[in-house]
Structure 1
C-alpha cells in the first residue's frame, strides 16, 4: 500500500451493534468495513506498466472487487478516501488525514465490531472475509507480504489501535498481546496477496475473478513464461 496519508481531519463513525440469534450466530446490523483508498495518483510502483489514468482506473477496479467481497460477507463497506470520490455500493468519507491517526480516531468511537481491509487485495472473496470475521476471537489479522497487514477484524473497535507501515503485522500482534486480546492469524492466500508491483499482476491474472483481472486483460496484459519463470507482458508494449 502506498504511503498516501498526511495530516489529520475530522470525521464520525456510526455504531453498529451485533446481537446473537437463537443459533448463536451473529444477527442484526452488519459489521462496518473501513477501506482506506487513494483515488488520485495511486499505485505509483506500477508506473512502469500503467499510465497515470490507467493506474487510477485499475485502483478503482481493485476497490470494486474488495467492496464486492466484504459486501458478500455481510459487511457494510465504508471508503475512507483522501480525496472526494463517488463510489457505487459504499459510503465514502473524505478524510485528508494520516492513515494511522485517521483509523485510530475512528476506532476510538467504535464500540462494536469493525473490519479494516486494504483496497489493493482484489483476490479477496466473501468466503475469505467471512473466515476473518468469524473466528470468535477478540481480533483476527490477515498478514500481507513483506510484514504488512492487509486486514484486521476487531470484535470491539475501541479496544485497539493500529500502527501501519513497516513491519505492521509484528506491531499489530504486539499491540494485541499488550492489550490482552485474543488474536487469530488468518493464513489466506486471497487476503495475503496485495498488488503493488508489476510482478504482483501474475497472481491476479492467474487467480483473479473480478473487475481487476478483466481490466488488465482489456489493456492487453497476459501471462508469459520464459525460461521457466512466469511473468506478465502487455501486447503491443515492449520493455
Structure 2
C-alpha cells in the first residue's frame, strides 16, 4: 500500500499572509507536512510514502518526488504511472495541510472494503482519497472537488469518511485556532514558538501574537 502527499513550499498558504510572513508561512507548511507524514509513518500501513514536491525538501521516512506539474496533473500522472507499471496496490492521497490527522484516522480509512473512500474538507474540498485500484480513478481538485470526486467514483463502491481531524485543513487565519486547541505536533509547537496564541474576546475566540 502507498501514500502520496502533494506539497508546495514556495509562497505557501498565501491566505495566512495577514498574520504570517512568507518565511513563517513556508515554515508552518513544513511543520504541517511533518505532522501528516509522521502520522503516515507511525500508522505502519504503507510500504511507500511519496511526497510530490515542487522543491527539494527533507522529510524523514519518506520519498521526495520532484514535480513541476500542477496539483491535478501531478497526481493523475502519479496514478497513471502506477497503472502503467502494473503496481496494483491501493493508494491514499492526503493533503499536507491537515495537521490534526491521527494514526487512528489513517487505520480507519484504509481498513474499509470500499473501492473509493473520500474524506471531505470544509467548503466542498477533498482532504484525502483512498483508492483501491489506481487505474479506476482520477482526481479533479479545486472548487467543489468533493462533489466532483463523488461523480468520478459514481460507478464504484464509494464511502464518505466523516472526520473532524481530516476535514480541518489550515487555509485561513481562523483555522489556526483549531491547531492551537487540538494540535499535539510540530504545527502547534511552531505557532507557539513564533508567538501565536489563542485570543478570547468576550464570547468569541481568535488568534493573537
CA RMSD of aligned residues (A): 1.0
Question: What is the TM-score normalised by the length of structure 2?
Answer: 0.94
SS in 2 for 1:48: coil
Counterpart in the other structure of 1:169: 146
1:217-236 aligned at under 5 Å gives the runs: 217-234=192-209
- Cα-to-partner distance string for 1:18-69 (whole Å, 9 max, x where unaligned): xxxxxxxxxxxxx211100001110111111111111111100000000011
- Structure 1's unaligned 5+ residue stretches are 1-30, 235-239
Question: What is the TM-score normalised by the length of structure 1?
Answer: 0.82
- Structure 2's unaligned 5+ residue stretches are 83-87
SS in 1 for 2:200: strand
Distance in 2 between residues matched to 1:134 and 1:181, nearest whole Å: 17
Counterpart in the other structure of 1:83: 55
Counterpart in the other structure of 1:122: 99
1:63 aligns with 2:40: no
User: How many equivalent residue pairs?
Assistant: 202
Distance in 1 between residues matched to 2:74 and 2:24, nearest whole Å: 28
Distance in 2 between residues matched to 1:121 and 1:139, nearest whole Å: 20
Q: Which has more radius of gyration?
A: 1
Q: How far has the Cα of 1:77 moved from its partner?
A: 2.0
1:125-164 aligned at under 5 Å gives the runs: 125-164=102-141
- Cα-to-partner distance string for 1:164-216 (whole Å, 9 max, x where unaligned): 00000000001100xx2101100100100000111000001000010000000
Counterpart in the other structure of 2:15: 45
Distance in 2 between residues matched to 1:51 and 1:89, nearest whole Å: 29
SS in 2 for 1:220: coil
SS in 2 for 1:107: helix
Q: Does structure 2 retain, via aligned residues, the 8 Å contact 1:68–1:126?
A: no
Q: Does structure 2 retain, via aligned residues, the 8 Å contact 1:109–1:158?
A: no
SS in 1 for 2:72: helix
Q: How far has the Cα of 1:104 moved from its partner?
A: 1.0
